Amino acid sequence: MSDLIKDLSELRLNYQKGELYEDQVNPNPHMQFLQWFNHALAAQLHEPYAMSLATANAQGRPHVRTVLLRGATETGYDFYTNYDSQKGLDLAENPYAELLFYWQEQERQIRISGKVIKISEQESTDYYHKRPRESQIAAHISTPQSGVVASREELQQRFWDLHQQVANQEELDKPEFWGGYRLQPDYYEFWQGRPNRLHDRLSYERIDGTWKLQRLMP
């Protein structure tokens, strides 16, 4: 196998699986999100609830990673993590973030941006106890998230040590450093791939409490 990268200028697809018209979308962007999200679920796409989360620190340095959507209502979009993770540190300094859903098979993309707040301790605790027990244990030992660990073996040993320690404990306490965040949207963009790169892009922006719908240049 050659280690030379292929000429990327030759790689392209022609998008032609859908279209997006202003008079066909829901005036409520959350309802439009649910419509597309439910289509992705019905199509049995691989992890359609996976989303990119972009944050930035106080200096404006961006960080992006994939997380899982764990709640979606008109009040916001929820995800869970360690508060001492890079995303948690970023949000403590700069509480604004953006989510990106990309469903390649349907040639669709959704951007959602807004201010991020911490979910209540009770909600975080309730969700923590819904997780598989092994995931609950992993949350306890993977701190600080993104911190350096000497080896995979050391991490696995920490896991099995705690696994044995709590073997007779029916319920684990949620770690204080772990919990949920909620992105409160003030902007959405729906993208539908179209032929000849003339993509459909519709944005919703919250202005004075109402949503303004606009078409964007591709």
DSSP-derived secondary structure for 81-109: EETTSHHHHHHHH--EEEEEEEEGGGTEE
Dihedral (CA of 41, 45, 49, 54) sign: negative
Is residue 123 within 8 Å of 129, Cβ to Cβ? no
Q: Is 197 a catalytic residue?
A: yes
**What is the tens place of the pLDDT at every residue in 159-172?**
999 999 999 898 99
pLDDT in the model for residue 6: 74
Please state, in angstroms and rounded to a whole number, the distance separating the CA atoms of residues 190 and 203. Answer: 6
Annotated binding site for FMN: 65-70, 80-81, 87, 109, 145-146, 191, 201
pLDDT in the model for residue 14: 86
Annotated binding site for substrate: 12-15, 70, 127, 131, 135, 197-199
- Specify the amino acid at residue 1: M
Please state, in angstroms and rounded to a whole number, the distance separating the CA atoms of residues 58 and 13. Answer: 38
Annotated binding site: 12-15, 65-70, 80-81, 87, 109, 127, 131, 135, 145-146, 191, 197-199, 201
pLDDT, mean over the chain:
94
Is residue 78 within 8 Å of 69, Cβ to Cβ? yes
Among candidates 174, 66, 68, 80, which has minimal Cα distance to 119? 80
Give me Rg for the CA atoms of the chain. Answer: 20
pLDDT in the model for residue 1: 52
Global pTM? 0.92
Among candidates 194, 180, 182, 185, which has minimal Cα distance to 32? 185
Q: Is 55 helix (H, G, I), strand (E, B) or coil?
A: strand
Among candidates 214, 218, 192, which has minimal Cα distance to 36? 192
Name all domains of the chain by residue range, CATH numbers in brackets: 13-129+176-215 (2.30.110.10), 132-173 (no CATH)
Q: Which residue is catalytic, options 108, 152, 158, 197?
A: 197
pLDDT surpassing 90 at residue 9: no
**What is the tens place of the pLDDT at every residue in 113-165?**
999 999 999 999 999 999 999 999 999 998 888 889 999 999 999 999 999 99
